[in-house]
Chain A
Amino acid sequence: MQSRHLRDGRILLAPLTIFLLAMLGLPLVVDLIYSVSRVEFRTILSPEFVGLANYVSALTSESYWQAAWFSLRFGLACAVAQLLLGLFLAIFLAPLIDKRPWLLAFLMLPMMVAPALVGLMYRLILHEFVGVVPWFMFTYFGDSPSFLGPDNAFRTLVVVEVLQWTPFALLILYSAYAAIPKDVREAASIDGAGPWQRLWRIDLPLMAPVLGATFFIRFIDSFRVFDNVYTLTGAGAGGATTTMSIWVYEAFFKSGDIGRAVAASMLLLVAAWAVLAIVHRLSERRA
């Protein structure tokens, strides 16, 4: 029986495993080979070994570090803002949502929209002649900042990202908040704890693991962002809004330097893996 289970298990896993090997394993091998080769579109089948030159080239490029710094700042700023805003909304609106769950539908809706399209929509909304936001600013304040200029682009993009993805944090945190048993809170009230004390001593500690997970997910998603930044600013604003993902994309398509682009993406993979390992270690220590 046991051996039959083992055999059946392997058969059931086989399709997925083969698919993963073909779609992820093979690309990874290509990544590894090309990252240590000089290769162009014409010489795609005869890469020439150059050791770590591509890695050095990426790591000594100023624009690479600019992109890394941008993605890191962007990821942290967005994750913090989404977590705080999502937490506030989840707890403050909980009494309303408990009674009328359909309210959640409207708060979840932004997540259903493609980020690439959201970027395009803001191109319309922030346009200095036809956009509603600059029109509003001109009409009521007499002046409007250049939202996508080099000085403001970072802040604008953070707002765009936060407005779209706070619902994600809100949704997770609301379910965590709603899952806290009523009697725990009642017991605390009976012992004389006020609303703030209940929040700090009961709700937040009980929600801590979920808060951590939410922060991590939002950081990763904002860190690896491509779609909305690309469609809203391109690599515009004087290259000031180039994220890591956009840097690799442009290294590949615009400059055709395949080796360098691939080496940079391998570095990205290592970075992502390192973050995962740290998070894993942290959550294990807690458990």
Chain B
Amino acid sequence: MNLLRWLVFAVAALAMNFPVLSTLVTSFKSEAEIASNPSLWIQSPTLANYLDVFRISDRFDILHYLWNSFASSILGAGLSLLLAFPAAYALVRFGTGRKWLLPLVANLRAIPLIVFAIPLYLVYARVGLLDTRLGLALILCIVNLPLVLVLLVAALRDLPVELDEAARVDGASTLTLLWRIILPLAGPALATTMVLGFVYAWNEFLFALMLTTRNAVTTTVGASFFFAASGGGVRWGIAAAVMVLSVLPPMVLGLLLYRRIGQSLASGAVKG
């Protein structure tokens, strides 16, 4: 019975991770081998594709895409935490906005994002935020807010209220209390939330596709450029290497922090 369980686990893990595994294998094959040998076996492994990725950076600059993804994701996730942390405290301790703000933001998760994409595109075009990392980060913040707020509310709810009361007796203002007492206590929860927000932002595609064209193109959109066959068809080896580089940061974070991420996702999903 246990053997059967291991078998099921192996099949499930392989099938679900198959796209990444297969792409990883392809990225170590030469262009010639990719054409002659599509199997999962590599006859003569090579790093040529990874070197070529950087060699064609005058046309497709992968480092630039990765930097854009990194900067806008950090900014977007950080901003969502900055906005949601004080709000979560007010929701939990004072009950302000519990009737409307929390359901509004939590339900945002169920709204198709395309609804806001068109007007934001038009507004962005007028105020000069189109194709900027800042403009993208502001949207990534919105994308992250439902999960971030729900997670932070759950985390703050678990903190004992006695700490607040003790600090109040000592005459601390709300801001001091928030900064000196709650922030350090909620540190681990904030860190996990930040990582999740970063991963979500990194993986976002729709807004990056609509709102960036050149300067702020992220890696999810940039990777698709390598598939636009321009003379001589798609160079599959390079495309595979680009995708491996693009999925590496969130996958490494996921492997390192799987336990915390798993708990957060499970609880955040059910409460949201």
Would A163 and B112 be within 8 Å (CB), given that A109-B254, A130-B34 are in contact? no
- Whether B83 contacts A19 by the Cβ 8 Å rule is yes
**What residue in chain A is nearest B5 (Cβ atoms)?**
A96
Q: Which of B110, B113, B250, B262 contacts A276 (CB 8 A)?
A: B110
Residues B78-117 near A (CB distance < 8 A): 82-84, 86-87, 89-91, 93-97, 101, 104-105, 107-117
- Whether A269 contacts B115 by the Cβ 8 Å rule is yes
Measured CB to CB, the closest approach of chain A to B47, in angstroms, equals 19
Per-residue 0/1 for A1-40: is the Cβ within 8 Å of any B Cβ (1 yes, 0 no)? 0000110111111011101100110111011001000000
- Whether B119 contacts A117 by the Cβ 8 Å rule is no
Measured CB to CB, the closest approach of chain A to B19, in angstroms, equals 4
**What residue in chain B is nearest A162 (Cβ atoms)?**
B16
Q: Which of B115, B138, B199 contacts A268 (CB 8 A)?
A: B115
- Whether B84 contacts A121 by the Cβ 8 Å rule is no
- In the complex, what residues of A have CB within 8 A of residue B89's CB? 12
Residues A101-150 near B (CB distance < 8 A): 101-118, 120-125, 127, 129-132, 134-136
- Whether B20 contacts A113 by the Cβ 8 Å rule is yes
17 CB-based A-B contacts, threshold 8 Å: A17-B101, A19-B83, A26-B119, A30-B123, A93-B12, A105-B258, A109-B20, A112-B254, A113-B20, A114-B205, A115-B203, A122-B19, A124-B236, A130-B34, A132-B38, A135-B39, A224-B112
Instruction: List chain B positions with a Cβ less than 8 A from chain A.
Output: 2, 5-6, 8-9, 12-13, 15-20, 22-23, 26, 34-35, 38-40, 82-84, 86-87, 89-91, 93-97, 101, 104-105, 107-123, 138-139, 141-142, 145, 149, 174, 178, 199, 202-206, 209-210, 220-221, 223-224, 227, 236, 239-240, 243, 246-247, 250-251, 253-255, 258-259, 261-263, 265-267, 269-270
User: A116-B220, A120-B239 are known contacts; what are 17 more A-B pairs with Cβ within 8 Å?
Assistant: A5-B94, A9-B90, A9-B97, A93-B12, A104-B262, A113-B250, A117-B246, A118-B19, A124-B22, A125-B19, A125-B22, A175-B262, A175-B267, A220-B110, A231-B205, A262-B118, A276-B110
